[in-house]
Amino acid sequence: MAVPPNALPASLVDPFQRAITYLRVSVTDRCDFRCVYCMSEHMTFLPKRDLLSLEELDRLCSAFVRLGVRKLRLTGGEPLVRRDLTTLIRSLGRHLESGALEELTLTTNGSQLTKHACDLYAAGVRRINVSLDTLDATKFRAVTRWGDLNQVLRGIDAALAAGLKIKINTVALRDVNEDEISSIAEWAHGKGMDLSLIETMPLGDIEEDRTDQYLPLSLVRARLSQRYTLTDSPYRTGGPARYVSVAETGGRIGFITPMTHNFCESCNRVRVTCTGTLFMCLGQEDAADLREPLRASRNDDLLVDAIREAITRKPKGHDFIIDRRSAKPAVGRHMSMTGG
């Protein structure tokens, strides 16, 4: 593979010889839902002055691209509630055109897709993830607290019509959606969409007991195996999901298992918050401030130095655990702060 002409020497490699090629950037901590496993119902969001501007987000992402990042995912909160986000996406699209970036993607709850799907495609996005945990409108309202299932389903149809490839992300929740995972898979596969199942993760105070929510995907897979013919698939998207092919539907199901199977040995990812804080691991509190070096100079020398130094502190793995003996989450910050 040819090295992009504007790439800096010595790509990002952590202490365990893992190349960092995947960056997830939260563009806002705000969301128009309040999902019970993700947020408290009464959230206090950051003042807008603390957020990186779209121009600063562009500079930051571009520095990572020059350092060897090949895949960039924009997240939130809900990224599409950030005003003028498509301006940033169009600008970042230049890295797709140059070949420096292989993929520019987005994770969304789908609520804003009817407005933005065509703009996303025009800006160079070809694949998105949509978070959807149930196809039951009453359950959907209960899980999201504020969400409208029909609005999301219309958004998914609009995105498919615009030419976007979609993967559905479903958090497996005990006594909530465990009885409809097979129907979600059949619905998704019927529309040509892959499905990824995710174990709930202990991030942030959510006013709920996560031990009541937690459903191990080893159990989910065993149940699915009783109904379908599942075959391990080599398919990868760059993330932590491990896929199986489903003979009866012709689709794929991915399993993201931070609790039952630690996938850290192959981690190629880091995350940046909307305030410019770099987390080298989703499940650790150690972080690096990139906002100060970003704003301290018009060139990116200080920023690049800060990124390189932070990567030397990337840990081998996370410390996630869900334990009834501890009322506190493993990590204090909410997922919406770090980005999905």
Show binding-site residues for [4Fe-4S] cluster: 31, 35, 38, 264, 267, 281
The set of residues, in sequence order, having a beta carbon less than 8 Å from that of 194 and lying 6+ positions away, is 167, 168, 188, 243, 251, 252, 253, 254
Show binding-site residues for S-adenosyl-L-methionine: 37, 77, 131, 201
CB-count burial class (<10 Å; 0-12, 13-18, 19+) for 180? middle
Side by side, the strands of the sheet bearing 269-272 are 230-232, 242-246, 252-256, 194-199, 165-172, 127-131, 103-108, 71-75, 22-26, 269-272, 277-279, 287-289
Report the sign of the C-alpha dihedral through residues 175, 180, 185, 187, in that order.
Answer: negative
Where residue 117 falls (left for φ over 0; alpha for ψ -120 to 50; beta otherwise) is alpha
Show binding-site residues for GTP: 24, 73, 107, 167, 269-271
Show binding-site residues: 24, 31, 35, 37-38, 73, 77, 107, 131, 167, 201, 264, 267, 269-271, 281
